[in-house]
Amino acid sequence: MMELLQFSLCFMAFNCFALAKFNHFREVFKKKLTDKQRHSFLATGWITILLSLVLSVLSEGGYGALLFCGYMALSVLMLMILYSFTVSWVKHISILNLSILLLSCFSVMIF
């Protein structure tokens, strides 16, 4: 469950980085990205990616750092496919990502 939490955080981070770009934001929300929104996306992205890295390293040490590199690759690949071929799914996938993130977070805290 810890791995799922780390990956969800990493995926969310890259999703935020993608949404902080004017073209991707316009394709998803059909409106212009404001500067305030851009900064919020970037801040959330940086916080979640660092959280993912810290959690990976804290739980598994050097092995966790390797896992984190893998999570980054998988996240970017999935997002590239999502934004290039099925941009209408971005909202749904983002909600799914957030739900998995919360669920895995709760289960890590409980067990």
Partner 1 sequence: MKENFFRSMTWLHTWVGLLVCWLLFLIFFAGTISFFKDEITYWFEPETHTVTHQDNRLAKQRQQINYAVEQLQNKAADSSSWRIYLPEPRNPLYTYSYAEPKQPGQRRAKFTETYLDPTINEEIAPPRETKGGYFFYRLHFDLHYIDVRTARWLVCLASLFMLIALITGVVIHKRIFKDMFSFRKNKGSRSWLDAHNVSSVLALPFHIMITYTGLITLIFMVFPYPAQTVYEKGLQQMFNEASPIRARVESSDVPAPLVSMNTILDQVYTKSPDADIGFFFIRDANKESSRVSVYLNTGKEVVDNGAAFLFSGSTGELLAEQGKDWSASARFYDSMTALHAGRLASPLLRWLYFLCGIAGCAMIATGCIMWAKRLRERLKPQQQAGVGLKLVETLNLATLMGLPFATASFFIANRLLPLEMVARADKEILVFFLAWLAMTVLAIISSSKRQWQLAAWLNALVCFAVPLVNAMTTEGNWISYLLTQKWTLFCVDFGFIIAGSLFILQGKKLRTASKKVSTRRFQKPKDLKEQQG
- Which residue ranges make up the site for partner 1 (CB under 8 A)? 3, 14, 17-18, 21, 23-24, 60-63, 66-67, 69-74, 76-77, 79-80, 83-85
Instruction: Provide, rounded to whole angstroms, the least separation between the CB of residue 31 and partner 1.
Output: 19
Q: d(Cα 108, Cα 63) in Å, to the nearest integer?
A: 19
Instruction: Provide, rounded to whole angstroms, the least separation between the CB of residue 84 and partner 1.
Output: 4
Give the residue with the Cβ less far from partner 1, 21 or 37: 21
CA distances from 9 to 36, 37, 49, 87 (A): 22, 19, 6, 20
Q: Tell me which amino acid residue 19 is.
A: L
Give the residue with the Cβ less far from partner 1, 54 or 60: 60
Instruction: Provide, rounded to whole angstroms, the least separation between the CB of residue 111 and partner 1.
Output: 18
Q: d(Cα 102, Cα 25) in Å, to the nearest integer?
A: 24
Give the residue with the Cβ less far from partner 1, 21 or 38: 21
Measure the CA angle with vertex 80, ends 107 and 4; round to 5°. 10
Give the residue with the Cβ less far from partner 1, 77 or 96: 77
Instruction: Provide, rounded to whole angstroms, the least separation between the CB of residue 96 and partner 1.
Output: 18
Q: d(Cα 13, Cα 54) in Å, to the nearest integer?
A: 14
